[in-house]
Amino acid sequence: MLCLKARAKINWTLDILGVREDGYHLMDMLMQSVALSDTLWMEKAEALTLEEVGRPAYRLREKDHLSSGSVPFDQRNLVYKAADILRSHVGLPLGARIQLEKRIPSGAGMGGGSADAAAALLGLNELWELHLPMETLSKLALRLGADVPFMLRGGLARVGGIGENLTPLFPAPKVWLLLLQPCDGLSTKEVFSAFDSIPPERLARPQTAVAQEALLKQRLPDLAPAMNNVLEGVSVQKRPALRVAKELLEGLGALRAMMTGSGSVVYGVFADEKSAVQAFEQLPPHEGFCAVTCTEDSGVNKKG
Protein backbone atom coordinates (compact mmCIF):
# COMPACT_ATOMS: atom_id res chain seq x y z
CA MET A 1 0.00 0.00 0.00
CA LEU A 2 1.28 3.45 -0.91
CA CYS A 3 1.10 6.27 1.63
CA LEU A 4 1.60 9.88 0.59
CA LYS A 5 1.54 13.18 2.45
CA ALA A 6 -0.08 15.91 0.37
CA ARG A 7 1.37 19.17 1.68
CA ALA A 8 -0.51 22.46 1.73
CA LYS A 9 0.95 25.73 0.45
CA ILE A 10 1.08 29.42 1.25
CA ASN A 11 1.50 32.43 -1.00
CA TRP A 12 4.37 34.69 0.00
CA THR A 13 3.14 37.04 -2.72
CA LEU A 14 0.16 37.03 -5.04
CA ASP A 15 -0.17 39.45 -7.93
CA ILE A 16 -2.52 39.46 -10.93
CA LEU A 17 -1.10 40.88 -14.15
CA GLY A 18 -4.12 40.62 -16.41
CA VAL A 19 -6.91 38.44 -17.73
CA ARG A 20 -6.77 36.18 -20.78
CA GLU A 21 -9.50 36.16 -23.41
CA ASP A 22 -10.81 32.91 -21.96
CA GLY A 23 -11.29 34.57 -18.55
CA TYR A 24 -8.30 33.00 -16.78
CA HIS A 25 -6.21 35.39 -14.69
CA LEU A 26 -2.49 35.79 -15.36
CA MET A 27 -0.64 35.37 -12.09
CA ASP A 28 2.74 36.24 -10.62
CA MET A 29 3.25 34.51 -7.28
CA LEU A 30 5.79 33.21 -4.83
CA MET A 31 4.48 29.96 -3.38
CA GLN A 32 5.94 27.48 -0.91
CA SER A 33 4.92 24.14 0.56
CA VAL A 34 4.25 23.81 4.27
CA ALA A 35 4.36 20.84 6.63
CA LEU A 36 0.59 20.76 7.19
CA SER A 37 -0.72 17.93 5.02
CA ASP A 38 -3.50 15.52 4.11
CA THR A 39 -2.71 11.80 3.90
CA LEU A 40 -3.63 9.41 1.10
CA TRP A 41 -3.36 5.62 1.13
CA MET A 42 -3.63 3.70 -2.15
CA GLU A 43 -3.77 0.05 -3.15
CA LYS A 44 -4.78 -1.77 -6.31
CA ALA A 45 -8.40 -2.88 -6.58
CA GLU A 46 -10.90 -3.90 -9.23
CA ALA A 47 -12.91 -0.68 -8.93
CA LEU A 48 -11.97 2.93 -8.24
CA THR A 49 -13.18 4.01 -4.80
CA LEU A 50 -12.47 6.96 -2.50
CA GLU A 51 -13.07 6.75 1.26
CA GLU A 52 -12.90 9.25 4.08
CA VAL A 53 -10.59 8.27 6.94
CA GLY A 54 -10.99 9.53 10.49
CA ARG A 55 -12.50 12.79 11.57
CA PRO A 56 -10.81 16.18 11.57
CA ALA A 57 -8.96 17.07 14.75
CA TYR A 58 -10.59 20.52 14.84
CA ARG A 59 -13.85 22.19 13.96
CA LEU A 60 -14.27 25.40 12.05
CA ARG A 61 -16.65 28.11 13.17
CA GLU A 62 -20.32 27.08 13.22
CA LYS A 63 -19.97 23.92 11.20
CA ASP A 64 -17.48 21.18 10.38
CA HIS A 65 -16.10 22.15 6.97
CA LEU A 66 -14.05 18.98 6.67
CA SER A 67 -16.92 16.53 6.94
CA SER A 68 -18.11 14.69 3.86
CA GLY A 69 -20.88 17.28 3.64
CA SER A 70 -18.36 19.91 2.52
CA VAL A 71 -15.61 17.79 0.99
CA PRO A 72 -17.39 15.32 -1.30
CA PHE A 73 -16.02 11.79 -1.38
CA ASP A 74 -17.38 10.92 -4.81
CA GLN A 75 -16.74 11.84 -8.45
CA ARG A 76 -16.68 15.55 -7.52
CA ASN A 77 -13.52 15.12 -5.42
CA LEU A 78 -10.29 16.16 -7.14
CA VAL A 79 -8.66 12.88 -6.13
CA TYR A 80 -11.29 10.96 -8.07
CA LYS A 81 -11.00 13.40 -10.99
CA ALA A 82 -7.20 12.96 -11.03
CA ALA A 83 -7.60 9.19 -11.18
CA ASP A 84 -10.15 9.51 -13.99
CA ILE A 85 -7.85 11.79 -16.00
CA LEU A 86 -5.02 9.28 -15.67
CA ARG A 87 -7.25 6.38 -16.71
CA SER A 88 -8.53 8.31 -19.72
CA HIS A 89 -5.00 9.32 -20.73
CA VAL A 90 -3.75 5.72 -20.85
CA GLY A 91 -7.09 4.27 -22.03
CA LEU A 92 -7.26 1.59 -19.33
CA PRO A 93 -10.09 0.87 -16.82
CA LEU A 94 -7.72 0.74 -13.85
CA GLY A 95 -8.96 0.45 -10.28
CA ALA A 96 -7.69 1.49 -6.86
CA ARG A 97 -8.92 1.81 -3.31
CA ILE A 98 -7.96 5.30 -2.13
CA GLN A 99 -8.35 6.48 1.45
CA LEU A 100 -8.05 10.17 2.30
CA GLU A 101 -7.55 11.80 5.68
CA LYS A 102 -8.15 15.56 5.64
CA ARG A 103 -6.10 17.90 7.82
CA ILE A 104 -5.79 20.93 5.51
CA PRO A 105 -8.77 23.21 6.18
CA SER A 106 -11.34 23.68 3.44
CA GLY A 107 -11.87 27.03 1.73
CA ALA A 108 -8.58 28.22 3.18
CA GLY A 109 -6.46 29.31 0.22
CA MET A 110 -3.93 26.61 1.12
CA GLY A 111 -4.60 24.33 -1.85
CA GLY A 112 -5.92 21.33 0.05
CA GLY A 113 -7.87 19.86 -2.87
CA SER A 114 -5.03 20.65 -5.28
CA ALA A 115 -2.52 18.94 -2.98
CA ASP A 116 -4.69 15.83 -2.86
CA ALA A 117 -5.02 15.82 -6.66
CA ALA A 118 -1.25 16.11 -7.08
CA ALA A 119 -0.66 13.24 -4.65
CA ALA A 120 -3.21 11.14 -6.53
CA LEU A 121 -1.47 11.75 -9.87
CA LEU A 122 1.96 10.87 -8.49
CA GLY A 123 0.77 7.92 -6.42
CA LEU A 124 -1.42 6.30 -9.06
CA ASN A 125 1.27 6.78 -11.70
CA GLU A 126 3.44 4.59 -9.49
CA LEU A 127 0.73 2.19 -8.29
CA TRP A 128 -0.49 1.50 -11.82
CA GLU A 129 3.09 1.38 -13.18
CA LEU A 130 2.30 3.91 -15.91
CA HIS A 131 5.78 5.49 -15.93
CA LEU A 132 4.43 8.85 -17.16
CA PRO A 133 7.09 11.60 -17.01
CA MET A 134 6.65 14.68 -14.85
CA GLU A 135 6.07 16.80 -17.96
CA THR A 136 3.00 14.73 -18.85
CA LEU A 137 1.72 14.73 -15.27
CA SER A 138 2.09 18.51 -15.14
CA LYS A 139 -0.06 18.94 -18.26
CA LEU A 140 -2.72 16.67 -16.78
CA ALA A 141 -2.45 18.55 -13.49
CA LEU A 142 -3.36 21.88 -15.08
CA ARG A 143 -6.67 20.38 -16.21
CA LEU A 144 -7.50 19.81 -12.54
CA GLY A 145 -6.70 23.30 -11.28
CA ALA A 146 -4.25 26.18 -11.47
CA ASP A 147 -2.41 25.19 -8.26
CA VAL A 148 -2.02 21.49 -9.06
CA PRO A 149 1.15 21.79 -11.24
CA PHE A 150 2.91 23.57 -8.37
CA MET A 151 1.67 21.00 -5.86
CA LEU A 152 3.24 18.20 -7.92
CA ARG A 153 6.71 19.66 -7.34
CA GLY A 154 6.28 21.81 -4.24
CA GLY A 155 9.12 23.53 -2.46
CA LEU A 156 9.59 27.22 -3.23
CA ALA A 157 8.74 28.51 -6.69
CA ARG A 158 7.87 31.58 -8.73
CA VAL A 159 4.60 30.76 -10.44
CA GLY A 160 3.30 32.54 -13.55
CA GLY A 161 0.78 32.25 -16.35
CA ILE A 162 -2.38 30.60 -15.03
CA GLY A 163 -0.22 28.33 -12.87
CA GLU A 164 1.66 26.37 -15.52
CA ASN A 165 4.88 28.40 -15.57
CA LEU A 166 7.04 27.25 -12.66
CA THR A 167 10.51 28.41 -11.72
CA PRO A 168 11.81 26.33 -8.79
CA LEU A 169 13.91 28.36 -6.36
CA PHE A 170 16.74 27.04 -4.18
CA PRO A 171 17.49 26.86 -1.36
CA ALA A 172 13.95 26.87 0.01
CA PRO A 173 14.07 28.31 3.54
CA LYS A 174 12.41 26.86 6.63
CA VAL A 175 10.21 29.57 8.13
CA TRP A 176 7.91 29.11 11.13
CA LEU A 177 4.28 30.14 10.74
CA LEU A 178 1.14 30.40 12.83
CA LEU A 179 -1.98 29.67 10.78
CA LEU A 180 -5.37 31.05 11.74
CA GLN A 181 -8.74 30.64 9.98
CA PRO A 182 -11.06 33.17 11.63
CA CYS A 183 -14.12 32.68 9.42
CA ASP A 184 -15.92 30.44 6.98
CA GLY A 185 -14.25 29.62 3.69
CA LEU A 186 -14.39 31.91 0.68
CA SER A 187 -15.39 31.10 -2.89
CA THR A 188 -12.36 31.54 -5.14
CA LYS A 189 -14.60 32.36 -8.10
CA GLU A 190 -16.45 35.00 -6.09
CA VAL A 191 -13.24 36.63 -4.86
CA PHE A 192 -11.70 36.82 -8.35
CA SER A 193 -14.91 38.27 -9.78
CA ALA A 194 -14.93 41.00 -7.14
CA PHE A 195 -11.23 41.68 -7.77
CA ASP A 196 -11.91 42.38 -11.46
CA SER A 197 -13.98 45.45 -10.53
CA ILE A 198 -11.18 47.14 -8.55
CA PRO A 199 -9.25 49.95 -10.32
CA PRO A 200 -5.56 48.93 -10.67
CA GLU A 201 -4.34 52.09 -8.90
CA ARG A 202 -6.10 51.00 -5.71
CA LEU A 203 -4.23 47.69 -5.44
CA ALA A 204 -1.49 47.10 -2.89
CA ARG A 205 0.90 45.10 -5.05
CA PRO A 206 3.73 42.93 -3.74
CA GLN A 207 7.41 43.49 -4.45
CA THR A 208 7.82 39.94 -5.69
CA ALA A 209 11.45 40.22 -6.81
CA VAL A 210 12.46 41.70 -3.45
CA ALA A 211 10.53 39.02 -1.58
CA GLN A 212 12.17 36.31 -3.69
CA GLU A 213 15.67 37.54 -2.91
CA ALA A 214 14.84 37.89 0.78
CA LEU A 215 13.57 34.31 0.95
CA LEU A 216 16.60 32.89 -0.83
CA LYS A 217 18.91 34.79 1.52
CA GLN A 218 16.66 33.98 4.51
CA ARG A 219 16.28 37.62 5.50
CA LEU A 220 12.86 37.74 7.13
CA PRO A 221 13.02 41.47 8.02
CA ASP A 222 13.46 42.22 4.30
CA LEU A 223 10.73 39.76 3.34
CA ALA A 224 7.96 41.21 5.51
CA PRO A 225 7.52 44.62 3.79
CA ALA A 226 7.78 43.07 0.31
CA MET A 227 4.88 40.65 0.86
CA ASN A 228 1.38 41.43 -0.42
CA ASN A 229 -1.66 39.66 -1.79
CA VAL A 230 -3.82 41.68 -4.20
CA LEU A 231 -6.87 39.55 -3.35
CA GLU A 232 -6.67 40.37 0.35
CA GLY A 233 -8.61 43.63 0.16
CA VAL A 234 -11.58 41.97 -1.58
CA SER A 235 -11.62 39.06 0.85
CA VAL A 236 -11.39 41.36 3.89
CA GLN A 237 -14.43 43.25 2.64
CA LYS A 238 -16.37 39.99 2.55
CA ARG A 239 -14.91 38.65 5.80
CA PRO A 240 -13.84 41.49 8.17
CA ALA A 241 -12.61 38.84 10.63
CA LEU A 242 -9.58 38.43 8.36
CA ARG A 243 -8.34 41.92 9.27
CA VAL A 244 -8.86 41.19 12.95
CA ALA A 245 -6.86 37.97 12.61
CA LYS A 246 -3.99 39.80 10.91
CA GLU A 247 -3.86 42.40 13.68
CA LEU A 248 -4.01 39.65 16.31
CA LEU A 249 -1.06 37.74 14.83
CA GLU A 250 1.09 40.83 14.48
CA GLY A 251 0.17 41.80 18.04
CA LEU A 252 1.50 38.41 19.13
CA GLY A 253 4.87 39.08 17.53
CA ALA A 254 4.52 38.09 13.87
CA LEU A 255 6.93 39.97 11.61
CA ARG A 256 4.09 40.13 9.10
CA ALA A 257 0.63 38.58 8.81
CA MET A 258 -1.07 38.02 5.46
CA MET A 259 -3.88 36.07 3.85
CA THR A 260 -2.88 33.17 1.62
CA GLY A 261 -4.53 32.57 -1.74
CA SER A 262 -8.09 33.88 -1.86
CA GLY A 263 -8.52 33.11 1.84
CA SER A 264 -9.68 32.35 4.44
CA VAL A 265 -6.47 31.39 6.31
CA VAL A 266 -4.19 34.14 7.57
CA TYR A 267 -0.62 33.25 8.53
CA GLY A 268 1.87 35.02 10.72
CA VAL A 269 5.61 34.89 9.99
CA PHE A 270 7.76 34.27 13.06
CA ALA A 271 11.50 34.46 13.64
CA ASP A 272 11.71 30.89 14.99
CA GLU A 273 9.71 27.92 16.24
CA LYS A 274 9.74 29.09 19.85
CA SER A 275 8.18 32.44 18.95
CA ALA A 276 5.47 30.77 16.86
CA VAL A 277 4.59 28.30 19.63
CA GLN A 278 4.48 31.06 22.24
CA ALA A 279 2.10 33.05 20.03
CA PHE A 280 -0.07 29.96 19.55
CA GLU A 281 -0.30 29.49 23.30
CA GLN A 282 -1.35 33.13 23.75
CA LEU A 283 -4.20 32.97 21.24
CA PRO A 284 -7.57 33.78 22.81
CA PRO A 285 -10.17 30.98 22.82
CA HIS A 286 -10.90 30.26 19.18
CA GLU A 287 -13.37 27.86 17.58
CA GLY A 288 -11.70 27.82 14.17
CA PHE A 289 -8.63 26.17 12.78
CA CYS A 290 -5.25 27.27 14.11
CA ALA A 291 -1.89 25.53 13.94
CA VAL A 292 1.86 26.04 14.05
CA THR A 293 3.64 24.79 10.96
CA CYS A 294 6.76 25.51 8.91
CA THR A 295 7.65 25.81 5.25
CA GLU A 296 9.14 22.84 3.40
CA ASP A 297 11.40 22.25 0.39
CA SER A 298 9.14 19.68 -1.33
CA GLY A 299 5.47 19.00 -1.96
CA VAL A 300 4.07 15.47 -2.05
CA ASN A 301 6.03 13.27 0.33
CA LYS A 302 5.98 9.47 0.05
CA LYS A 303 5.93 7.67 3.40
CA GLY A 304 7.29 4.22 4.14
Q: Which of 50, 105, 115 is nearest to 267 (CA)?
A: 105
List alpha helices for 129-285, DSSP H: 134-142, 148-153, 188-195, 208-216, 220-226, 232-238, 241-251, 273-282
Q: Is 74 a catalytic residue?
A: no
Q: Is 147 a catalytic residue?
A: yes
Distance CA(289)–CA(292), nearest Å, equals 11
Q: Which of 216, 221, 279 is nearest to 253 (CA)?
A: 279
Give me the catalytic one of 28, 38, 147, 246: 147
Give me the catalytic one of 9, 15, 28, 38: 9
Which whole-number Å values give the CA distances from 162 to 116, 210, 218, in the listed order? 19, 22, 27
Phi, psi values for residue 198, rounded to 5°: -85, 130
Distance CA(203)–CA(143), nearest Å, equals 29
Distance CA(75)–CA(90), nearest Å, equals 19
Q: Which residues are catalytic?
A: 9, 147
